[in-house]
Chains A and B, each alone.
Chain A
Amino acid sequence: MLLEIIICCILLAVATVGFYYYKFRIANRVRAPKDVVLLYQVGRGPRAPSFSPFPMKLETFLRMTAIPYINDHAARFSSKGKTPWIELNGKAVADSQLAIEFLKKKFGVDADGHLTEGDKAVARAFLKLTEENLYWTMCIEMFGDNLEPVKTVIPYRGFKLWLTVTLLRRALGKQTWGHGIGRHTKDEVWDIAVRDMNALSNYLGTKKFLMGDEPSEVDCSVFGMIAQIYWHMPGSKHQVYLKENLQNLVDYIYRMKDRFWPDWESMTLEGSSCKSDHGELHMPEKVTTRNGLSGHRFLNGTT
């Protein structure tokens, strides 16, 4: 009798694992044509195209450099255990920054072509400040004692929402401790966050984009991060501070939104024309704008 119970349990475990493997690895698999980037990311966010800064960074970069791509929103994780990641002509590249370096080589594009070496160095430094420092203060704020705000942002329901929040909270606790920032008090972390946001605002000043009149690669990351604060951290200290003190940063994210996300309303869950773009091709079209400058516009269509 015991043996039969054990066998049943094993079969049940195998069936469950098999089901989830199928669901996450095989079902709904998107195929991308040759030379089209397959962008694996989590689903759309309620008020911005993602509820995480890194997918927004990577997708904004693809739009900035006019690289055609298709989204796979099934939240599949990369070989490094994270998301977003990409595949191009069968080759997988994990990590948003490594993916950007890879794409620059493959497509011969460079969003920093107009910058001096000194400026590129400064851009790299601000990239690190944003992704390796400010980002963690935001995680600590959102996954702290009060989980209600983050539950309104992650677009899952019921058990899936509870599981996602619980797992993320545990993972972030470990990550911030390993990183070091998780060892500080709440006040110390907040002080770090304020100084980082002030640094971004002070460096931006009255410029249109972080490094000048034209957008560059670092804008993808800063935009992705500040957009989360503005749209996806409701009632948080970061959001209040940003809105009350750093108007130039708020204007900046609207500028980036207008420039690279004219279809924002269809790319956000609470947008007026929201529709799923899972498996849909985003193809850049060369256009001439009203003032005679050429640029790119993205068309959503099937191949």
Chain B
Amino acid sequence: MAFFKKKECGKDYPKDTVILHQFPRGPFAPSMSGFCVKLETFLRMAKIPYQNVHAYKTGPKGKSPWIEYNGVVLGDSQLIMSYLSEQLEINLNMSLSKEQRATARAFQKMVDEYMYWSVLLERWVYHRGETSKTLTKLPSLFVWEIGRRTKNMTHAQGIGRHSPEEVDRILEDDLTALADFLGEKKFMFGDEPTEVDCAVFGQVSQVKYHVPETVKARKYLEEALPNLNAYMDRMKETFWPDWEECTTKGFTTEATK
């Protein structure tokens, strides 16, 4: 019964290494979840050693990603980032003023608590057929169930009560706000990346790579927001030089990392 034995930290998992539990690799980006991309980008940005465990198993709050670190189990990407920053005395926002940090928090909330939901609706509800064909190998019953849960959660959150046209516009407005704030800058707050870049990169990566091409916002990002597009490429080159090895290249290979 060896495989039922719970792994022991230090014995089976290396000490001082984050064990990052996340969904399996995505077809065109390292994950189909903006939060998994966000957290893994943070670990790379902060140079924290980590190991991936790719599975659909969810963490202590019923969600993914989640981590184990020296025996501590934690859920929620933002709580994990705060915890690790405190434990390891890392501050990716050191160069920011109080006002800038407040603005960074506001943008993190906008992408994680708002934009995230419109992407879910586009992918799993409005364009579910296209998603089934091009973005997932899950059987249609699973996709239907994900769609049903998405409808319930977005109804609870509020945004699911809007019409598809309204949600399209909301998503475009959020992307426009990001592009307008970014302007000519290399990263959200200047020449150096900061913590909020992880969240922005994570959520926008889903619009860029993991919604069907029939979604208006994907075309809008490609055609109307060149600075935001260039920013996405810049983040990818800076933190994901091994990007290709972290995707299944459209289900044609196994991801090697």
Contact = CB atoms under 8 A, between A and B. Distances in A.
Contact of A178 (B76, B98, B156): B156
A145 interface: no
A238 B158 CA distance: 23
Interface in B147-203: 152-158, 161-162, 166, 173-174, 176-181, 183
A126 interface: yes
B106 A175 contact: no
B224 interface: no
A125 B152 contact: no
Interface stretch (A40-48, A58-66, A115-123): A115-123
A184 B76 contact: yes
Contact of A125 (B61, B109, B179): B109
Nearest to B78: A192
A122 B161 contact: no
A186 interface: no
A205 interface: yes
Interface of B: 61-63, 75-76, 79, 98-99, 101-103, 105-107, 109-110, 113-114, 152-158, 161-162, 166, 173-174, 176-181, 183
A120 B180 contact: yes
Contact of A175 (B79, B107, B157, B166): B157
Nearest to A97: B170
Contact of A126 (B79, B101, B106, B161): B106
Given A188-B79, A202-B99, A98 B166 contact: yes
A81 interface: yes
A23 interface: no
Contact of B180 (A98, A121, A128): A121
B106 A122 contact: yes
A122 B104 CA distance: 9
Contact of B152 (A126, A178, A188): A178
* 3 residue pairs, one from A and one from B, having the closest CB atoms: A178-B156, A125-B106, A121-B181
A87 B41 CA distance: 46
Interface residues of A, number: 36
A21 B105 CA distance: 44
B158 A98 contact: no
A91 B173 CA distance: 24
Interface of A: 80-82, 94-95, 98, 117-118, 120-122, 124-126, 128-129, 132-133, 174-180, 183-184, 188, 195-196, 198-200, 202-203, 205
26 contacts: A80-B161, A82-B161, A98-B162, A118-B181, A120-B177, A120-B180, A121-B178, A121-B179, A124-B110, A125-B181, A128-B114, A129-B109, A132-B109, A175-B158, A178-B153, A178-B154, A178-B156, A179-B113, A180-B61, A180-B76, A183-B61, A196-B109, A199-B101, A199-B106, A203-B102, A203-B103
A188 B179 CA distance: 31
A177 B156 contact: yes
Nearest to B152: A178
Chain B CB count within 10 A is highest, among A121, A132, A183, A188, for: A121
Chain A CB count within 10 A is highest, among B158, B166, B174, for: B158
